[in-house]
Structure 1
Amino acid sequence: MNLNPKFPLYLPGVKNGNNNVSIIGANLREDITTLGYYVSENGGIEIKFQNSYHTKEFSSFSAVLKKFIEDRQLQDVKRLGLAVPGPVIDGKSSPARLNWGLDVEEYKRDFGFDRVYMLNDLEATAYGMGLLEDSDLDAIYTSDHPEKGNVAILAPGNGLGEAGYYFDGKYLRPFATEGGHSEFSPRTNVEVEFYQFLNNIYGIVSWENVLSKTGLFNIYRFLRDVKRHPEPEWLSDRLANGNFTEEIYRAAVEDDVMICKITLETFLEFLAREANNLTLKLKATGGLLISGDIPQLIQKYIDKEKFYEKFKISDKMEDMLRNIPIHLVTKDKGALHGIALYSAYFQE
């Protein structure tokens, strides 16, 4: 896997060689933790193999790492990189979705790695996007007058990931945010009802309570329980026994179920609005990338023109917003490849 020159990532080790460096990359999620063994070569990375483990079956990340090393009979691996679903401060993290405390110095000491890196998972994903091919991007909106500048990344999945690239005039430098935990604000009378519904559940209502797999369920049950949209009995059974997001999408597209169609349309309207918020806050004149499990699943349902019209609504900034290209990442190289790439070529 080689870097796409359209993503000029700041990775100084690429120029310095850093070939044949062995790396374990790890993507930690609340359901599945995936580890891969990589070797750096020619300014890119090659994955040799990967294993996935059920996160809740392990008491610590060290236990998962030990299992992976034993399963694959690995020896003398030089570097370790971790992508984690939460903030990383001074090489430590305690993600809310995991029961693990994480510390890079612990893994360096106990496993003998030369270097250990840990990034927020969406920051790691931002590095992984440097490995995308042009065909992996679906244009939602292209500008006649695009500008160079910062780039925003919005990724609804298990949670709501938000990150960006700072453009320094030559390179793109990924950075993490915890913007998904900023407070959601309603705009219409119905949204005020929705806010009150969520406020009774959560107290503080964050954008993650709206734009995530849980958020999709929150929209659906608000429509069902508060607005009294009918739910077919057969759908109730499918939602209880299947993958909720997939079943909502299937019922909207294949079965033309009104409550599911409104659920997806409401979700996409909120996605356009938070995309607007993030783009303005980062002054992301270089573009907006939308990633994450949910947008990728419902890609064919997205009305691109309607999304763009919702996205560009602003009090005074429509001129800036209308020049910002928007792309959906259809084949996410993901946090696992991204943390391996970072571990191979980043230099302090």
Structure 2
Amino acid sequence: MEDKNNFQLFLPALEAETNNGISLIAADIRGDVTYLAHYVTESKKVLSRNHHTYNTADYRNVSDMVMQFMQDYSCRGASKIGIAVPGPVIGGKSAPQRLSWTLDTEEIKATTGINKVYLINDLEASAYGLGVNDEHNFLPIHKSGDFSAGNVALLAPGDGLGEAGLFWDGKCLRPFATEGGHCEFSPRTSDEVEFYQFLQKIYGIVSWESVLSKSGLFNIYRFLRDVKQQKQPDWLTQEIEAGNFTQAIIDGALENRDRICTMTLDTFIIFLAREANSLVLKLKATGGLYLSGDIPMMLEKFLNNNKFYKNFIVSDRMESVLKDIPIYLVKDKNTIINGAAIYAAFTEE
């Protein structure tokens, strides 16, 4: 690939001539909308030709949506389909909690007539998608003075909390999915214990996704409002009622409009640093931490103010390791769908 970055992905069928000049469909399925795109392969790359967004709830299943897309964009010559789903994929099947329907590769093959169908976890797909990005799409949060090639960690708070890794085999990086966002949240301070107890009454088991996601951001906010008695300004009440909470709270903090906005974002950044710390240590990700997803892109200025890095390196004995981990913000919104296309194109002949 011509783009230069630290990612040399393990793609066992990249050199196969049978994968040159093929047409394929990729999808990034989300609870509200699904992104579909038509790609062709050329010179060991996937190149997007057409793309469209569909309302997920308007379709009975993903097969109907793919058929609609192929009809809309006259791409019936496609020979592969790669589908990124917001949940675990086991045995070619997936039943994501945020979707009203399940996915099965055999059903998709039968309906679409395409015999090569690949389901992949969306964060694993995002990890593959990092490999096609040029360096300008990686904004440095912290540059390492002593970089050492190794495993890579990917953390992506958005509608949920996605976590993935890339295993360094000495030559290439091999993406893999995790469900780490569903691990249990652990409080550290007395205020955090209060926060945990607040969420426990709501959820029973409090996962990190209940803290680091769009709903998690609101959970932090309403804890500060309802338990810590921080005032909710009238303008924010209107934004919440209009369904614009996430953008409004971030803008309010950026503009320093009200104390509760700043407190919410500061707390979110601390928790994000904490979970990033845990993920990096568990994966021994000396190759770097990459922050992706909708929320980090909206928090660019907060991530660059040093609060994130200072909290990220806090550890009992591992600060010497953590301080040299390079950290980047991924600014490409298409890593998931691009990664699904790469996975479909080049993992098998």
Common topology (TM > 0.5): yes
Residue equivalent to 1:193: 194
Normalising by structure 2, we get a TM-score of: 0.97
How far 1:12 sits from its partner (Å)? 2.1
Q: Distance in 1 between matches of 2:5 and 2:330?
A: 17
Contact 2:269 2:307 in 1 (8 A): no
Q: Matched residues, percent identical?
A: 52
How many angstroms does 1:14 deviate by?
2.0
Amino acid in the other structure paired with 2:15: K
Equivalent residues of 1:136, 1:332 under 8 A apart: no
Give secondary structure in 2 for the equivalent of 1:8.
coil
Q: Which amino acid aligns with 1:100?
A: W
Is 1:150 the equivalent of 2:138?
A: no
Query: Which residue does 2:6 correspond to in 1?
Result: 6
Partners of 1:300 and 1:242 in 2: CA distance:
23
- Residue segments in structure 1 that go unaligned for 5+ positions in a row: none
Kept in 2, the 8 Å contact 1:3–1:43? The answer is: no
Q: Does 1:102 pair with 2:136?
A: no
Q: Distance in 1 between matches of 2:188 and 2:90?
A: 35
Q: State whether residues 32 and 54 of structure 1, in contact with CA within 8 Å, keep that contact through their aligned partners in structure 2.
A: yes
CA gap 1:95/1:2 in 2 versus in 1, 3 angstroms = farther
Q: Aligned ranges for residues 74-153 of structure 1 at < 5 Å? A: 74-153=75-154
- Change beyond 3 A, Cα 1:193–1:5: closer
Q: Is the 8 A contact 1:129 1:332 kept in 2?
A: no
CA distance in 1, matches of 2:181, 2:74: 39
State how far apart, in whole Å, the 2-side matches of 1:71 and 1:111 are: 14
Q: Is the 8 A contact 2:5 2:135 kept in 1?
A: no
2:79 is equivalent to residue 45 of structure 1: no
Q: Which amino acid aligns with 1:214?
A: S
1:161 to partner: Cα distance = 0.3
| 1:174 pairs with 2:164 | no
Distance in 1 of aligned mates of 2:8 and 2:76: 33
> What's 1:211 paired with?
212
Partner of 2:203: 202
The CA deviation string for residues 221-264 of structure 1, in whole angstroms up to 9 with x for no partner, is 00001100011112211222142111001111225211001100
Q: Which amino acid is 1:317 matched to?
A: M
Which amino acid in structure 2 is aligned with residue 181 of structure 1? H
> How many correspondences in the alignment?
348
Change (3 A) 1:72 1:332: closer
SS at match of 1:269: helix
Secondary structure of the equivalent of 1:56? helix
Alignment gaps of 5+ in structure 2: none
Task: Find the counterpart in structure 1 of residue 245 from structure 2.
Answer: 244
Aligned CA distance change for structure 1 residues 278 and 129 (closer, same or farther; 3 Å):
same
Local SS of the residue matching 1:193 = helix
Contact 1:122/1:162 (CA < 8 Å) preserved in 2?
yes
Once residues 92 and 149 of structure 1 are traced to their aligned partners in structure 2, the CA distance between those partners, rounded to angstroms, is 31
Alignment match, 2:15: 15
Structure 2 residue aligned with 1:289: 290
Q: Does 1:275 align with 2:276?
A: yes
> In structure 2, how many angstroms separate the alpha carbons of the residues matched to 1:185 and 1:120?
26
Q: Report the CA distance between 1:60 and its aligned residue.
A: 1.2
CA distance in 2, matches of 1:243, 1:131: 32
For residues 328 and 314 of structure 1, do their structure 2 counterparts lie closer, same or farther at Cα, with a shift above 3 Å needed?
same
